[in-house]
């Protein structure tokens, strides 16, 4: 049986067309894009084309607003550091409790090493940002507000355009980590207030180790990496031409399919959720129903442990995740679910299913075939579940009486 991959927010398969677009730049076209001879100008051309494809995916006004980096992490780190260094009179970062570690760890590092004030804004049970707290936190001391476009664990989408407007009222820059949004939902920066945006190749069927940082024209910028004059002096280091060519191809493919794929993937995701909620007691979908990425579903199973569920799923040939890939393997509950105040009885049992354009209706059928059995088996071994649900009745089974949607919006 073909294994089913439902962990696309951790990484995606590099599409075969992307691999094909990369290959020549490992062999015949090996030149350095900065060289003035033909070997160089050949590859300079592909870097330019790739930049235009990323520009088009983002709806950016100018191609030189796109800087190639080594990925989402570098883009996120660079954005925060640049905002601070370009505005030495401002010493505060405003961000959220649900960001990726590429923002949260780096902000913590800046606090420890530079005394930067880091203000973390909380979210409600739907994952929605406390906008009043966000507005209150912004002030003349704020260098940058950084809020992700969409959350990697729950898929919650944040109102980044509105948030960018508030940041500007305080004279601050606005950055968004759009690693999970880019390629999945439309982005149009042509008339946007967003100053900086991060994306990553391997989250949109491109290669790993390549990404981009969008910096709106006119925004003051300080590089993280210093050395050669690559990327107009904004990111030193010989260009990773094969990966840049791959990212360009991935952006081109994603942009062409975004409208159709959004709808297709959303209907698969919704069928998965409906099936689970109907068939499995004690299951809850985490996050608001509306403002969510079409591909992401975080479902938690009361009184169960996600590691045990994942293990059984894996035996059935299904790969999912317990949340952020960086946190799995440790028994720490996810910082995102904790910030959402997910009830303690459901905190350990969260499974993230993240789909991609490669998933089929048959994949969802398979999950719906095996998951109810896995969960009822684990529930039958969970003393807490049995205490709560079997006392005096037989709540077990597929009646779905206990299923509910947590925090429906």
Residue ranges that bind ligand PLP, judged by CB under 6 A: 71-73, 76, 100, 102, 148, 152, 177, 179-180, 200, 202-203, 211
Question: Among the options 61, 326, 381, 384, which is catalytic?
Answer: 326
**H and E: helices and strands count for the chain:** 13, 12
3-state secondary structure of 4: strand
Measured CA distances, 383 to 93, 334, 372, 389 (Å): 45, 23, 18, 10
Distance spanning both ends of the chain, measured CA to CA: 38
Q: Which CB sits closer to ligand PLP, 179 or 320?
A: 179
Closest distance between ligand PLP and the C-beta of residue 397, in Å?
A: 37
Closest distance between ligand PLP and the C-beta of residue 145, in Å?
A: 16
Look up 6 and say whether it is catalytic. Answer: no
Closest distance between ligand PLP and the C-beta of residue 66, in Å?
A: 15
State how far the Cα of 287 lies from the Cα of 268, in Å rounded to an integer: 17
**Residue nearest to ligand PLP according to CB distances in the complex:** 72
Q: Which CB sits closer to ligand PLP, 92 or 180?
A: 180
Closest distance between ligand PLP and the C-beta of residue 158, in Å?
A: 11
State how far the Cα of 7 lies from the Cα of 177, in Å rounded to an integer: 19
Q: Tell me, rounded to whole angstroms, the distance of Cα 145 from its chain centroid.
A: 18
Count of CB atoms situated within 10 Å of the CB of 217: 9
Closest distance between ligand PLP and the C-beta of residue 202, in Å?
A: 6
E-strand ranges in 201-295 read 211-215, 283-285
Per the CB < 8 A criterion, the answer to whether 17 and 253 are in contact is yes
Q: Which CB sits closer to ligand PLP, 148 or 285?
A: 148
Q: Give the dihedral of Cα atoms 265, 401, 310, 2; nearest 10 deg.
A: -50
Closest distance between ligand PLP and the C-beta of residue 295, in Å?
A: 12
State how far the Cα of 78 lies from the Cα of 275, in Å rounded to an integer: 42
Q: Which CB sits closer to ligand PLP, 152 or 321?
A: 152
Q: Which CB sits closer to ligand PLP, 210 or 407?
A: 210
Helix (H) / strand (E) containing 210: none
Q: Which CB sits closer to ligand PLP, 250 or 403?
A: 250
Please give the positions annotated as active site. 326
């Amino acid at each position: 049986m073909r294994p089913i991959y439902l962990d696309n927010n951790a990484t995606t398969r590099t599409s075969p067309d992307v691999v094909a677009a990369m290959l020549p730049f490992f062999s015949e076209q090996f030149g350095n894009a900065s060289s003035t001879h033909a070997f160089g100008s050949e590859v300079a051309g592909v870097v330019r084309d790739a930049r235009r494809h990323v520009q088009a995916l983002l709806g950016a006004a100018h191609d030189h607003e796109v800087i190639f980096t080594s990925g989402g992490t570098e883009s996120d780190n660079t954005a925060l550091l640049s905002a601070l260094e370009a505005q030495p009179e401002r010493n505060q970062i405003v961000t959220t409790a649900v960001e990726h570690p590429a923002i949260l760890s780096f902000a913590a590092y800046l606090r420890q090493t530079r005394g930067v004030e880091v203000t973390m804004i909380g979210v409600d049970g739907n994952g929605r940002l406390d906008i009043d707290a966000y507005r209150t936190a912004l002030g003349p001391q704020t260098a940058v507000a950084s809020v992700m476009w969409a959350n990697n664990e729950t898929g919650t989408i944040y109102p980044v355009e509105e948030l960018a407007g508030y940041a500007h009222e305080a004279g601050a820059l606005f950055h968004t980590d759009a690693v999970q949004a880019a390629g999945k939902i439309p982005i149009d920066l042509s008339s946007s207030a967003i100053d900086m945006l991060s994306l990553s190749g391997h989250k949109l069927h491109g290669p790993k180790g390549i990404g981009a940082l969008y910096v709106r024209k006119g925004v003051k910028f300080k590089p993280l990496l210093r050395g050669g004059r690559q990327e107009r002096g904004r990111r030193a280091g010989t260009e990773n031409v094969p990966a840049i060519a791959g990212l360009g191809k991935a952006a081109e493919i994603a942009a062409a399919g975004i409208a159709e794929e959004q709808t297709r993937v959303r209907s698969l995701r919704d069928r998965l959720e409906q099936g689970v909620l109907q068939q499995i007691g004690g299951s809850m979908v985490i996050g608001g129903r509306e403002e969510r990425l079409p591909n992401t579903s975080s479902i938690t199973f009361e009184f169960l442990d996600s590691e045990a569920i994942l293990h059984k799923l894996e035996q059935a040939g299904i790969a999912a995740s317990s949340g952020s890939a960086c946190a799995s393997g440790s028994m720490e509950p996810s910082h995102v679910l904790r910030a959402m105040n997910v009830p303690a009885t459901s905190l350990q049992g969260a499974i993230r299913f993240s789909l991609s354009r490669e998933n089929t209706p048959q994949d969802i059928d398979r999950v719906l075939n095996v998951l109810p059995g896995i969960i009822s088996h684990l529930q039958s071994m969970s003393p807490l579940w049995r205490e709560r649900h079997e006392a005096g009745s037989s709540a077990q089974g597929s009646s779905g009486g206990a299923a509910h949607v947590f925090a429906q919006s």
